[in-house]
Structure 1
Amino acid sequence: MDTIFSRGPSLNNRLALALALSVLLIFTDHKLDAFQSTRVYLNSIMSPLQYLANLPSVMLNFSAQRFTSHQSLVAENNRLTDQNLKMSERLQQFEVLQAENAQLRKLLDVPVEPKVHKMVAELMAVDNNPFSQQIVINKGAIDGVYLSQSILDDRGVVGQVMEVGSTNSRVMLISDVTHAIPVRAVRNNIRYIVSGNGALDELYLEHVPHSVDIQKGDMLISSGLGDVFPEGYPVARVESVLRDESRPFATVKARPLARLDRLKYLLLLWPDDAPRQPANKTTNKPLTPQE
């Protein structure tokens, strides 16, 4: 059976003819640029095939980029989430420090008589006895704290020292039922005695006659009598005045200006004539709320 290659010229002749035609076409295209339109036409025909042949590679590259981008976004999101949590925690600390700094600034700016030395103390503990209003502060005998020393916050009188330890002291708040402080009204200088009733937000005035000129809103400041609290420090503001003629005295309630329910930093006062050493009830051990 004859094959197609056994017909016509020999293979060598065909090769020579093909080479000659190729050289002729190359020369003609190079010198005369005769196949420019043909090349454009052929490129137009082959272009879809080239895009089709390149499609798997493009799809693989696109999928890889999408996968990489997704992983990068997930990693970036996790990093930003962690960073946000850390920054939020630091922001909370900054807010607390800012608030404490503002409180300390207000405390140190409390108007104090020229001859009064002052020192900032910090709350250590609150007495858990429901029948007394006492706290423990972190200043004691080594700091010169003495019995009956005046204690203030950034708004007004808090109480007085009732027991002194070596490194801390116990303070009785003005809201304690056994505590009383002499005051006077800023409006008319009438003097009163303000006592505690066991509530942190309420005080009452003792033995106020019905005829006394006292009104809701009157500011009460320390009068300086009794040689415990220096004169002129805010104590309370009158909240209500009830004059019941069936009772011998008017019922007058006041609200302490010091924030007794949220004490943090306190101010110890040393008037010029105050003792520099604690009194005879000083203990040599730290105090606790349970004592």
Structure 2
Amino acid sequence: MLALSANGVLPKADYAIFADTGWEPRTVYQHLDRLEKEIAAPAGIPILRVSSGNIRRDALDPEHRFASMPLYILNQDGKQGMTRRQCTGEYKIKPIKRQVRELLGYPYPLRIPKDVFVEQWVGISTDEFHRAKDADVRYMHNRHPLIDMGWSRSDCIRYLTSIGLADTPKSSCLGCPFHGNAQWRRIRDTSPEEWQDVVAFDAAIRRGNARANAAGNKLLGQAFLHRSRMPLDQAPIDHVTAAEWAAHQEELSTAEAPVPDVEELEQDVEDGCSPWACRGEADAELTQGDFGLAS
């Protein structure tokens, strides 16, 4: 959307806002720097970087009130579950709202008049039109330009390729539990340092919320980053999932590839994270009573 705006396909935006969780892949920060230099700055569109802190550091700090990640849980009785997801709201939406208030001239706790608002673009394509929703405050009016244009994910990729941005990475925390196997493999195979980082984090959260543990809460189970509920460096990330196979089939020009045994493919969730459009938000339904992870 930033490129479309900078190139005159969409109206010129006043600002672009990037909500930084503090734990994005190195390639995302490099890409953001490139966007700012080559696309945004020449068009006169400021990129504002906002943050509520470093999600990795906060998760391991017993003194910090942590907004829980949707971790996969293996309870002592063998039952499986997930902790509730609060990270998108805390580390994406909250800092964006704070920045928008400041841009409008009404920082919290000032009351914003009813007729004062921003038109906010959210980058959801037609593939995920069901995720398009309004903001929950009246001073932000969400719009979805890609849907208005009838653009699918493939259209976006073609456009990015045409302007030299074919290598645009997905924005999500390095250790997001909603990563698909392809994303875990990409980290492992292309960035050994970041792979060691997520493996270490996965081991560190095995006993759950650092604050709860420091307070002596009873341990009801174990927490994991991978849906197999195995340590990340032992998880079956080399398995090709059903979603990966479907995406691969879309890219093939012929239908000659062999069809795998579907029963052997684990279910997958699209990786990536966006304010108002976390792709895995429907999967995190369990509350703190299941594991005592939420502070």
> What TM-score do you get using the length of structure 1 for normalisation?
0.21
Q: Which has the higher strand share?
A: 1
Q: In terms of Rg, which structure is larger?
A: 1
